[in-house]
Amino acid sequence: MSDKSDVNQRIAKTLEKIKNSLDKKSNIKTENTTDPIFDSDTGNLNTPTKEEETLNISTETTLIKDRKFTNLNWIKHNHQELTFKNCTISNSDFSASNLDGLRLIHCKIFNCDFEKASIQDGFFEDCEFYDKDKQNGCRFNLADLKRTEFYRCNISMSTFKRANAFQIVVNECRAQGCDFQFTNFSHVISRTALFSSAFLTKTDFRYSNFEGVHLEKCDLSESKFVSVIFSKVNLEEANLTNTIFSPSHYDGLSLFKADLRNAELTNIDIRKIDFTGVKIFEWQQAFFIENLGIIVYPDKT
């Protein structure tokens, strides 16, 4: 009997120790209290949290991660060099704010307004700016996006009207239905000289509007420009290699000395565009000859 009693006492003591240990752990305050859930759409680990409507930034704050915000009012705020990781921000207003150096990693930014905001040297990677449910993007009209970089992001249906996008990078992104009307990709050197710089590469820009932009000598290689508006667009000496180039509107388009090697050209009347100095491969000659209505017969052997 004594042996059995000793065993029961040891078991009781062990259970008490386990209980005490769990109680101590439950009192420890941690940033995350839920188990991570794998998001099959993005391949990211997201931690579901309660939506917050305020975000207080201290002088020491540089990283915000695994949080969800809605209805933030950051109009004319000044918060530079912030990094958001695995966050969701929706229905928020960042207009006229200074957000230079902003970094967004694996974030979802839905229905947010960045009009007139300064986001120089921003870095956005694997982010969603397109709300599939509401079918709209974000607003960057008149924003300062100099040297800002988008990698593997979905910016579809977003607007960039008259934004400053000098030296912007948009690489391996989805940008369908975007509005780049009169977006500024240039830097004024003098009253008569402009220098343009942009890297719009490996991106799907179908149905987007580029009316009135200057992209001379810019890199647009391997992108899809299907049913886009290229009215009054300057693409002189631009790199358009390996693109799908099929604009829906192109009155006033300039392609002087552009590099179109290996580009797939369709739906273009070459008689309406100056192709002087354009670079193409030999196999692409057939498009130009057929477009002019010329019938070519094989040489006699």
In a domain, 130, yes or no: no
Report how far residue 70's alpha carbon sits from residue 145's, in angstroms, rounded to the nearest whole number: 23
Statement: residue 66 has pLDDT above 50? yes
Q: How far is CA 217 from the centre of its chain?
A: 22
The answer to whether residue 170 is domain-embedded is: no
Does 5 reside within a domain? yes
162 contacts 131 by C-beta, under 8 angstroms: no
Secondary structure E strands in 156-240: 168-171, 186-190, 193-196, 198-201, 224-226
Predicted local confidence at residue 67, as pLDDT:
96
- The domain tally of the chain equals 1
Q: How far apart are CA 207 and CA 149, in angstroms?
A: 22
Dist CA 299 CA 301 (whole Å): 6
The one-letter code for the residue type at 70 is: T
261 in a domain, yes or no? Answer: no
pLDDT for residue 188: 84
In a domain, 260, yes or no: no
What is the residue whose two structure tokens read 């005490």?
20
pTM, two decimal places: 0.81
Confirm whether 17 is domain-assigned: yes
| Confidence grade of residue 241 (pLDDT, cut at 50, 70, 90) | very high
**Within-domain flag for 54:** no
Evaluate whether residue 68 is within a structural domain. Answer: no
Per-residue pLDDT reduced to its tens digit, 122-172: 999 999 999 999 999 999 999 999 999 999 999 999 999 999 999 999 999
Nearest to 104 by CA among 83, 90, 119: 83
Q: Virtual CA dihedral for 207, 249, 239, 243, nearest 10 degrees?
A: 50
pLDDT score, position 294: 83
Predicted confidence at residue 180, as pLDDT, reads 98
The yes-or-no verdict on residue 24 having pLDDT over 60 is no
Pairing of strands 103-105, 83-85: parallel
User: By residue range, what is the domain housing residue 12?
Assistant: 1-30
